[in-house]
Every structure is written in structure tokens, then in C-alpha cells.
Chains A and B, each alone.
Chain A
Amino acid sequence: MVDVIVFVVAGAIVLGGALGVVLNRNPVRGALSLIASLFGVAVLFVLQEAHFLALVQVVVYAGAIVVLFLFVIMLLGVDRSEDLSVEPLAGQRLAGVAMGVAMFTMALLGLFLSGRGGDEGAVALTGTRSVTQPLDETQPDIDQLAVDLFGRNVLAFQATALLLTIATVGAVVLVRNRGAEDLVIDEPGRAAS
């Protein structure tokens, strides 16, 4: 019963935060809604006994990525509110919302109309239990994750380390100051000389 209450509250926070990101005109408020949503997701991770991932979620996502967003928003001064009532393409917002509803419906149809049927009425797609790396309930999840990460997936792990290095170097190269040519401010819509 406690699980149900925690799930409903955390789910409401997740979805409410997401709506706040999408519907807020001010990007700063959107970033704060994103933080709320990410905390909700971390609670859902804890509810499913993935404690290490909840920690990483809070530290990396809410603590670094959203902070980076806020830095960039403040640096560029784009915290002026966007005009949500103007749409450059006629019917764009309606088409966007229709696409979102269609995606949700498709996902639900895929979830509920497939599968073997049987367990609890709705079976998730491709539901065979693993025989190679079963989750051991007695071991902490971080131990099992470490064994899998540094054992079977060590190549992918090294590849992500390489990816992070490349991303860091790329970020430094992209925003470095190249002198006088950076002081020219162009009007929006006019091609940069």
C-alpha cells in the first residue's frame, strides 16, 4: 500500500514537472520544473530498489546537467519569456499535441495488446526472464551493477569514457574566444558575415 502511495505521488511530481517544462514561458522556471521532475524520477528508482542509480540521477542529472542549463540560460540572457501564442507554421501546435497523443496511444497499445497474456492481465513486451545475469535479491544493486559494468560491458564503459573526453574537448573548442570577430552582434534572421 505504501508503494502505491509513493508511486502515485512521485508519478504526479514527474508528470507535473514535465508539464511545467513544456508549458512554462520562462526557461528558468522550466529548468526548475525539470529539477522537480528529475527528483520524482529518482524517487521512482529508489522505489524499484535501484538505489545507486537514484543517487547518480540526482548527482548527475539534477546536480550537474540542470545546473549547466541554468548557467547557459543566465549567460545568454535568454530568460526573457518566449511568446507561446505565436506559431510560425499554421497548425503547428495542434499537430505537435496530436503527435504526442498519438505516441502515447501507440505506446499503450503496444503495451496492452501484445504479449502472451496471462499474468495480471497485461504483460509487457518481450518478457522472458534472464538466465545469464539474474538479479540477486540478497546482493546490493551496486555490486551487481559493478560486476556487469566492468565485466561484460567493459568495452562499452571504455567507449563512454572516450565519449566524455571527446565531448569535453569539443565543448572547449566550440566556445573558445577567437578575438575581435566575436564582438559583432548580428540581428536575428540576417546571415552572419
Chain B
Amino acid sequence: MVVTETWYLVLSAGLFSIGLVGLLVRRNPLVMFMSIELMLNAVNISFVAFANALDDIVGLTAVFFVLVVAAAEVVVGLSIVVAVMRRRPALTADDLSSLKG
């Protein structure tokens, strides 16, 4: 039995689905952010699997960029969460509705 790239892709799909459920069900903004990180990691796994299977270095470059963009996104997102939650400490995602029409 050899570990083919299909195994990695199935694992990536499972991890993405778990992250998706976490994003949809949880209301704490920080846990929602962590679920987004899970989804980004799932995509990274599938990128590396494809880089190995298709013999292309671009997969690894894409992972590098995804990592950088994820870091930038977490920085900005958490600073927004901090800025909002300083005023309202017991916040959930449902309460962030001041832009509601």
C-alpha cells in the first residue's frame, strides 16, 4: 500500500469540511477565525499534494503565498475584533449587526 496523493486530497476535503462546519456553527469570533485557519491549512495540504503528484514547484509557491496572506488576514482580523470587543466585551458574531439595514 502506497500513500498516493488521493489520500492527501481526501484528508484535505475532510479538514476543509470540519473548518466549514466550525465557521457556520460557532458564534465566538475568535473560534470562527480559527476555523478559517483550518480551511486554509486544508488547502495547503492539497496544494502540496498536487505539487508532488504533478511534479510542479508552483504548488509549493502557492502554499508560501497562502501562508503569508493568512498571516496578514489574521493580523487585520484580530485587530478588528480587538477594536470592536474593547467596547462590548461579551460579544458574539450575532451582535455585530450595526451595519444591518
A residues in contact (CB < 8 Å) with B = 1, 3-4, 7, 11, 14-15, 18-19, 21-22, 27, 30-31, 34, 37-38, 41, 44-45, 47-50, 52-53, 56-57, 60-61, 64-65, 68-69, 72-73, 75-78, 82, 88, 92-93, 95-97, 99-101, 103-104, 107-108, 111, 120, 122, 124, 127-130, 132-135, 141, 144-145, 147-149, 153, 156, 160, 163-164, 166-168, 170-171, 174-175, 182, 184-189, 191-192
Nearest CB of A to B80, in Å: 6
Nearest CB of A to B23, in Å: 8
Pairwise interchain contact B63-A97, C-beta atoms closer than 8 A: no
A69, A103, A160: which contacts B16 (Cβ < 8 A)? A103
Using known A-B contacts A22-B18, A22-B25, A160-B68, determine if residue A44 contacts B56 with beta carbons closer than 8 Å. no
B35, B45, B56, B69: which contacts A134 (Cβ < 8 A)? B56
In the complex, what residues of A have CB within 8 A of residue B11's CB?
Answer: 11, 14-15, 44
Pairwise interchain contact B69-A160, C-beta atoms closer than 8 A: yes
A127–B13 Cα distance when bound, in Å, is 18
* Interface residue SS majority, chain B: helix
Q: Which residue of B lies closest to A108 (CB)?
A: B13
In the complex, what residues of A have CB within 8 A of residue B91's CB?
Answer: 188
* Interface residue SS majority, chain A: helix
8 pairs across A/B with beta carbons < 8 Å? A14-B11, A18-B38, A22-B18, A34-B37, A48-B8, A61-B37, A69-B74, A135-B51
Contacts of B62-94 to chain A: CB distance below 8 A: 63-65, 67-76, 78-83, 85-92, 94
Tally chain B residues at the interface, Cβ within 8 Å: 79
A49, A68, A153, A192: which contacts B78 (Cβ < 8 A)? A68
Pairwise interchain contact A167-B64, C-beta atoms closer than 8 A: no
A135–B38 Cα distance when bound, in Å, is 27
A174–B65 Cα distance when bound, in Å, is 24
In the complex, what residues of A have CB within 8 A of residue B44's CB?
Answer: 41, 53, 57
